[in-house]
């Protein structure tokens, strides 16, 4: 299978050590091969300083990954302007972080890579060099020319949860939540579950915004006026969907068995269940792109960078999920 590409992420964070640990976990599985776009020397020295004796081996093309994967992390070497120090941000390297993402997208579009897995970025350092996006998700959508169609899905412990509104204050959610947004995201989720997850007839649940899904207007009108019409329109589109259901009863084991994915009305409504069920192994997946993109569901962890204690489980899960999605492409 064509290898995945792994972006550099913020080099001052835990990316070097979790990348090394991911390779240690996956090096004997040919179906999980990946190569890194980043600074081979920095990643190797940082990984070894954190206690992981892993080689980062330069390659010219993604296709060369198989030649070296058994003995080290294959790297399309892109040296940083300034050597990275664990836990210490340096905006001189910000352009290189963005360039790593850009190159990964080009490799996905060319077919040289089967998908991309992104290491965590530190957004404030990117803003200093003109980055104008909230994060990976909308930036990748802009590069793929599908802005407005991207959907963030969190996956963990068998749960697939989608926040319809994402990084906005809770006070702004009722105004931002629209029937059109719920319908658009529901359609992307249904199609993606068929295409990338092998689910022929996806079952999608939809939570309510208010407690008890509004109790028919007694606790807010948004569920009756916004969410109920969206569910009806998704049904008309031929999607097996139900709701709105009360969020406080939507995530126990019996409830989760009734759906393949759940649309949630705001960020924490989706992320809290995933992180409670699988804090270390949760994966962020961007749906609606013309290529595969997954990411560990955590940040750069600057406070523990270089100490050898970073947990690689989420990155390993992100690689495994991207590989399984690519196998169905």
Question: pLDDT tens, 89-114?
Answer: 999 999 999 999 999 999 999 999 99
> Rg of the Cα trace of the chain?
20
The predicted pLDDT at position 216 comes to 86
The confidence score (pLDDT) of residue 218 equals 87
Round to whole Å and give the CA distance between 249 and 32.
36
What does the pLDDT average to over 282-286?
Answer: 97
- Indicate if 124 and 178 belong to the same structural domain: no
In a domain, 125, yes or no: yes
Using the 8-state DSSP alphabet, how is residue 259 labeled? -
With bands split at pLDDT 50, 70 and 90, how would you rate the model's confidence at 136? very high
pLDDT in tens, 20-60: 999 999 999 999 999 999 999 999 999 999 999 999 999 99
pLDDT mean over 214-227: 92
Q: Please, which pLDDT band fits residue 300 given cuts at 50, 70 and 90?
A: very high
Q: Within a domain: residue 152? A: no
Residue 153 lies in a domain: no
Count of domains forming the chain:
2
CATH of the domain at 247: 3.40.718.10
84 and 182 fall within a common domain: no
**Which range marks the domain in which residue 252 is found?**
158-275
Q: Are residues 216 and 168 in the same domain?
A: yes
282 domain residue, yes or no:
no
- Look at residue 183 and tell me if it is in a domain: yes
What is the tens place of the pLDDT at every residue in 54-73? Answer: 999 999 999 999 999 999 99
Contact residues for 299 (Cβ-Cβ < 8 A; gap 6+): 13, 120, 122
CA 139, CA 222: separation in Å to the nearest integer?
A: 30
Whether 318 is covered by a domain: the verdict is yes
pLDDT number for residue 44: 98
The answer to the question of residue 286 being in a domain is no
Q: 243 and 301 share a domain?
A: no
Give the pTM: 0.96
**Do residues 111 and 222 both lie within one domain?**
no
Return the pLDDT at 214. Answer: 85
Q: Do the domain assignments include residue 238?
A: yes
Q: Share the mean pLDDT of the chain.
A: 96
Co-location of 135 and 8 in the same domain:
yes
Decide if pLDDT at 134 tops 90: no
The DSSP secondary-structure symbol of 50 reads T
């Amino acid at each position: 299978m064509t290898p995945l590409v792994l972006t550099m992420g913020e080099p001052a964070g835990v990316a070097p050590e979790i990348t090394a640990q991911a390779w240690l976990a996956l090096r004997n599985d040919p179906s999980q091969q990946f190569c890194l776009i980043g600074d081979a020397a920095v990643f190797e020295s940082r990984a070894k300083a954190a206690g992981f004796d892993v080689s980062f081996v330069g390659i010219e093309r993604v296709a060369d990954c198989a030649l070296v994967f058994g003995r080290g992390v294959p790297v399309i070497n892109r040296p940083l302007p300034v050597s990275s120090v664990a836990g210490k941000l340096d905006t001189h390297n910000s352009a290189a972080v963005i360039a790593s993402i850009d190159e990964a997208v080009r490799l996905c579009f060319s077919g040289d890579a089967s998908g991309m897995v992104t290491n965590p970025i530190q957004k404030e350092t990117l803003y200093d060099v003109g980055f104008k996006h909230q994060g990976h998700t909308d930036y990748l959508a802009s590069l793929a020319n599908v802005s407005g169609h991207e959907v963030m899905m969190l996956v963990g412990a068998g749960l697939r949860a989608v926040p319809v509104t994402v990084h906005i204050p809770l006070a702004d959610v009722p105004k931002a939540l629209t029937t059109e947004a719920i319908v658009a995201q529901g359609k992307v989720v249904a199609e993606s579950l068929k295409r990338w997850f092998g689910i022929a007839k996806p079952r999608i649940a939809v939570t309510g915004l208010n407690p008890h899904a509004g109790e028919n207007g007694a606790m807010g009108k948004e569920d009756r006026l916004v969410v109920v019409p969206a569910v009806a329109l998704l049904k008309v589109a031929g999607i097996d969907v139900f709701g709105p259901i009360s969020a406080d009863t939507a995530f126990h084991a019996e409830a989760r068995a009734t759906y393949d994915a759940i649309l949630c009305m705001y960020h924490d409504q989706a992320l809290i269940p995933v992180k409670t069920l699988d804090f270390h192994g949760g994966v962020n997946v961007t749906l609606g792109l013309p290529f595969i993109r997954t990411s560990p569901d955590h940040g750069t962890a600057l406070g523990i960078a270089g100490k050898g204690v970073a947990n690689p489980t989420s990155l390993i899960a992100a690689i495994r999920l991207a590989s399984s999605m690519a196998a169905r492409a």
